[in-house]
Amino acid sequence: MAALGVAVYAVAVTPQKALIYCPVAIDSIGCHNVVGALSGPNGPFPNGVDRGYDGTAGTVDLATADLSPYAVFIIPSLADDSVSKPYELLRNSRIAYRLSLALEGRLVVWSGTPDQGTQSRDLKDKLIRNLAVWARGADSAAATGLVVLGDHSEVASQRYAWLAGFAGLAVSPDTVAQVYDSVKTLTATGIAILDNGGTQLAYPAMASFGVRPPAAASGAAVDARGGSAEGQVVLVTSPRRLASVKTDRPDYSPGETVTFTGSGWEPGEVVSLLLHEDPTTHPDRTLTATADPLGNIVNNEFSPEPHDVGVTFYVLASGQASRLVAQARFTDKVAPTITTEIHDANHTVVTSVPVGTTVHDKATVSGTAGTPTGTVTFKWFTSGTCTGMPAATSSPQTLVNGMVDATGFSQTPAAPGSYAFEASYSGDDNYTSGPKPCEVLTVTARTPTVATEIHNASHAVVTSVPAGSTVHDKATVSGSFGTPTGTVTFTFFTASSTCTGTSVASGTVTLDASGVAHPSASQGPLSAGSYSFIAHYNGDPNYTATDSPCEPLEVTALTPTALTEIHNASHNVVVAV
């Protein structure tokens, strides 16, 4: 089902509830009786019955509520007069349009008041249940049905006029005052609706007045007449909507041509297109289109004017021959300018950050029709393309002076790579909605610190050792985003204290849980001279490969001990001769 600005159908569900139109503090008897007839453990709607109006006094708000749980919408018998107008809310363009999209199922109009009075209450309740069950249809997931009981408004010629705003059929009253204690069924549908366990429902004053027969091309049927086959039409049903109207776009800028198209109309008939503005800046205007041999219509004679910015246009298409009705809506808005910036925790604008940096997005919305209002919704993608399923989506963030700094939707990339934010603006009365182009964030690996120590065979830290010593190296790798992992490769330079010239490998050692690689392969025994170690960290997903500073090692010559002896000519040691 279509969404209606604020959702009418949020998800695909099987409707199992009934919604009764109940104007608060206006003629509540009919509403009360309809609710009673459909409620209870044996009622036809397992999930219950709700009252619908403006959200006050426990009613469902027809202007904003999700209507997907409802299989049928029932309008009791009411009467507008000079004092009260219970049907007035149904004339509201926004509410009527919402209902027009929600109520796409069966339509049944009964010219009677089974919701009124206490006499024959059981039979009246039976009729109410039959009407509701028929309108719901066999496949209750298909579309929400509509039941309309008799309109007894003071101005007889205006009865049922409010129905055209959301039903697929215009219903006209028969204003001749007649009251019927029984009716003549004319179709199988009429027989089913009037069935009372194998007999036909009948009770005093069960129907009155009537409605005009629908046009043959409307697809609607006359299912019962009052008293006899010549009586007034008291039961009309329509199995589905036949006609449609739509615009080629949902929104237009001033001067752009609006193209209306539609289908399902009677070939050759003139279809009027009534344009009503909300808020009203111009009186209602009417365009016309003639249906082609296939029942299709086209009209491209209208363009919004500059003063129409912020206006919502509600379109009521009416077939002059078929009496079919269809509804559409479009707006006249300005495309805003949306700019975005990725910020780090210090609110510095960034496009590239080291891994582990916390970032958030900021959006600024501006335009030529005043400061935009509404909300911005942010999405976070773990790829740099803003495609597929986002890793996270913010709640709608309200614009303040056209800006929102989404510090409450901060993200901390856990690995190097490409990431992205996307900011989608909701639009408002003056501006269209839309997303900002993808904002790519490059996340780089961090540079670690590699510290080293040369150890002798006793694991003492040394920078100078005597000739003949054996040494090895130790490396500690650290960083600001967790302990580095991976390996360290050690190199020993055999003739230089500056890590140049001839060298030999001194092993590759895996870092332990503390980031320490120890020991390297030992070198020695060493002759006197200059040597050096260097440790190369090979990197991991979060840290770049990095060399340690060069570690010089001096190996000093040993100091010998000189012993002497005095020999005679026979090489004997002597101390005196």
Question: What confidence tens digit (pLDDT) does each residue in 446-462 have?
Answer: 999 999 999 999 999 99
Residues 97 and 198 in one domain: yes
Domain count, the chain: 4
Can you give the pLDDT at residue 272? 97
Same domain, residue pair 435 and 471: no
Residue 139 has pLDDT above 60, yes or no: no
Instruction: Label residue 429 by pLDDT band (50, 70, 90).
Output: confident
Half-sphere exposure of 423 (CA within 13 A, CB side): 28
pTM over the 0.75 mark:
no
Indicate whether 421 and 507 sit together in one domain: no
For strand 199-200 and strand 195-196, is the pairing parallel, antiparallel, or unpaired?
A: antiparallel
In a domain? residue 539: yes
- Does residue 134 belong to any structural domain of this protein? yes
Clarify whether residues 231 and 95 are in a common domain.
Answer: yes
If asked whether residues 277 and 404 sit together in one domain, one would say no
Ordered DSSP codes for 503-548: EEEEEEEE--TTSEE-----B-SPPSEEEEEEEEE--BTTB--EEP
Q: Which of 140-149, 269-278, 294-303 has the lowest mean pLDDT?
A: 140-149
> Do 267 and 302 belong to one domain?
yes
pLDDT on residue 8: 39
Examine residue 1 and state whether it is found in any structural domain, yes or no.
no
Say yes or no: 325 and 344 in one domain. no
Give the chain's largest Cα–Cα span: 170
Q: Is the peptide bond before 267 cis (omega within 30 degrees of 0)?
A: no
Q: Which of 194, 216, 238 corresponds to the end of one domain?
A: 238
The pLDDT of residue 7: 36
Position 390 pLDDT exceeds 60: yes
Q: What's the mean pLDDT in 345-357?
A: 95
Mean pLDDT of 131-146: 82
> Is 231 found in the same domain as 96?
yes
Range of the domain at 454: 449-556
Assigned domain for 483 exists: yes
Domain end position, chosen among 425, 444, 463: 444
pLDDT in tens, 203-222: 999 999 999 999 988 999 99
Whether the per-residue pLDDT at 33 is higher than 90: the answer is yes
- pLDDT more than 70, % of the chain: 97
Length of the chain as a residue count: 577
Q: How confident is the model at residue 14 (pLDDT cuts 50, 70, 90)?
A: low
Judgement on whether residues 172 and 230 belong to the same structural domain of the protein: yes
- Using CA atoms, how far residue 297 sits from 259, 271, 468, 515, in Å, is 10, 8, 103, 75
pLDDT digit string, tens, across residues 68-119: 899 999 999 999 999 999 999 999 999 999 999 999 999 999 999 999 999 9
At 491, which CATH number?
Answer: 2.60.40.10
Can you tell me the mean pLDDT for 123-131?
Answer: 97
Same domain, 43 and 166: yes
Residue 99 lies in a domain: yes
Predicted pLDDT of residue 281 = 85
Per the domain annotation, does 568 fall within a domain? no
The mean of the pLDDT values for the chain is 93
Give the pLDDT score at 260.
98
Residue 570 lies in a domain: no
Q: Is the pLDDT of residue 535 over 60?
A: yes
Range of lowest pLDDT (302-306, 433-437, 499-503, 569-573): 433-437
- In whole angstroms, what is the distance from residue 67 CA to residue 4 CA? 10
156 lies in a domain?
yes
Which is more confidently placed, 142 or 468?
468
> In the listed set 332, 364, 383, which residue is the last one of a domain according to the structure?
332
User: For every residue of 401-419, which 3-state class applies, written as one string?
Assistant: CCEEECHHHCECCCCCEEE
Mean pLDDT over 144-154 rounds to: 96
Whether residue 165 sits in one domain with residue 266: no
- Pair 154, 96 in one domain: yes
DSSP state of 141: T
Distance CA 385, CA 417 (A): 12
Q: Could you tell me which of 343, 358, 250, 242 has the C-alpha nearest to residue 304?
A: 250
